[in-house]
Homo-oligomer: A and B are copies of this chain.
Amino acid sequence: MTDIEGALSRADQNLDSSLEKLFELLRIKSISTDPAFKADCKQAAEWLVSYLTGLGFDASLRETPGHPMVVAHHAAGVAGAPHVLFYGHYDVQPVDPIELWENDPFSPTIKEVAAGHKVLTGRGTSDDKGQLMTFVEACRAYKETNGTLPIEITILFEGEEESGSPSLKPFLEANAAELKADYALVCDTGMWDRQTPAIAAALRGLVGEEVIVTAASRDLHSGLYGGAAANPIHILSSILAGLHDDSGRVTLPGFYDGVEETPENIKQSWETLGRSAETFLSDIGLSVPAGEKGRSVLEMTWARPTAEVNGIQGGYTGEGFKTVIASKASAKVSFRLVGKQDPAAIRESFRTYVRSKLPADCTAEFHPHGASPAIQLSYDSPFLSKAKEALSDEWPQPAVVIGMGGSIPIVGDFQKMLGMESLLVGFGLADDRIHSPNEKYELVSFHKGIRSWIRILNALAA
């Protein structure tokens, strides 16, 4: 007989030491996209191996051509119990612009932002170290109370999620037998709101692309050449400005191939969630929805594809002024995909479009940064129903099944390469400022997140 109440109160008693362990992990600067932090990434992986080993997992660090993987196994207390693969990532986003952080991003703190309302501050608190530790600490409390775990658990932590996961597919392929389970648990998502946990059933895909436009063979003085020489910033601006039409639709030929309208009943269930454009945007200082005209913001962010410029650079950008005509200008562009949009076709359509807009004496160079199709999970899985019930027991409001604007390419890889469906549960909030300065995670997300996983583990064993 499983002692679920015992495990829950054990988690409550453990909270301070759980936070101490989380803060140890948060202090490691595991920024995967910047080669300067390679050693820090390895250190984070080693920390996890050591901690999981201490909890009784058979844990190991696995080298890859990039940052290492962490794999850990723990048997179930009962024979024939289900087997889940838990996935998270220990790498974090860069911290620039550093001057906008109120606290050092790698010196985590607990901050009381209002009476009784505490948050954990620092890079990775929400994405994804805080989240993955909710699961680890749930296992710890469960095991400390019951001596074992209710289901068989394999853990996979990667260190390249924020930089396109280049090593993930080869690793899944090479270790398919070891990693295959009945279901995957992916903890990189959010709550619907502070009271309402959520399970995500639809995820947008992603195509990342960098384009570098080259005009003259060197930087030019705009006095000597201005007016006669091609300016790559003008060309690039014109290319990017042409990506959307006046109604907010993406103009690339074939872009909407494979995009289906969301069924009316789903759209209606989203409408009851009460997220208006005003409430959604006012939190970030905006008021006018910028996407396709005639769509709700939930449709825009969950069910419609986008083209976004994530970065642009060219010419002189330092202090003061420099009357230069740059030789090159570059942009990082990403496309969020839905339905059956084909990542490869969209990349090719973008490249063809860019080339068609280049003057005859200019060139463009392209660098791909990841590609994943959109995901639609099955709404009727028993696994999902059990988890929904367990979550509803823990939180003030029942759990809701939602869509998601972001991409979690691993979900597609698990489906395609290991034949596993994923359960997407997480405790982040929309205002956690992930990928931005002043990232935070609610203390209640961490605490009730741990309790939620205890309930889910227990429910899945039944």
Instruction: Name A's B-contacting residues (CB within 8 A).
Output: 33-35, 93-94, 96, 100, 162-164, 204, 206, 208, 210, 215-231, 233-234, 236-238, 240-244, 277, 280-281, 284-292, 297, 300-301, 304-306, 308-326, 329-332, 334, 336, 359-362, 369-370, 404-407, 430, 433-438
Q: Would you call B222 and A308 a contact (CB within 8 A)?
A: yes
The 5 closest A-B pairs by CB, nearest first: A223-B406, A217-B285, A33-B320, A311-B315, A241-B241
Of the residues B221, B226, B236, B436, contact of A436 by C-beta under 8 Å: B221
Inter-chain pairs besides A222-B406, A311-B324, A312-B313, 4 sampled, C-beta below 8 Å: A220-B436, A222-B334, A285-B361, A288-B359
Contact assessment for B435 and A310 in the assembled complex, using a CB-CB cutoff below 8 Å: no
Q: Tell me whether B223 and A407 are in contact (CB under 8 A).
A: yes
The distance from the CB of A275 to the nearest CB of chain B, in whole angstroms, is: 10
Complex A-B: 22 CB contacts under 8 Å:
A94-B316, A96-B316, A217-B286, A218-B437, A218-B438, A220-B435, A221-B434, A221-B435, A221-B436, A225-B405, A227-B292, A227-B336, A228-B301, A231-B308, A233-B312, A234-B309, A241-B241, A241-B242, A309-B314, A310-B325, A322-B435, A323-B334
A319 and B33: CB pair below 8 A? yes
CA distance A280 to B361 in the complex (A): 14
A233 touches B322 (CB 8 A): no
Closest residue on chain B to residue A316 by CB atoms: B311
Q: In the assembled complex, which residues on chain B have CB atoms less than 8 Å from the CB atom of A370?
A: 321
How many copies of this chain does one complex carry?
A: 2
Find chain B residues with CB under 8 A from A322 CB: 33, 93-94, 162, 310-311, 332, 435
**Across the interface, do A301 and B221 meet the contact criterion of CB distance under 8 Å?**
no
Cα distance A285–B184 in the bound complex, in angstroms: 54
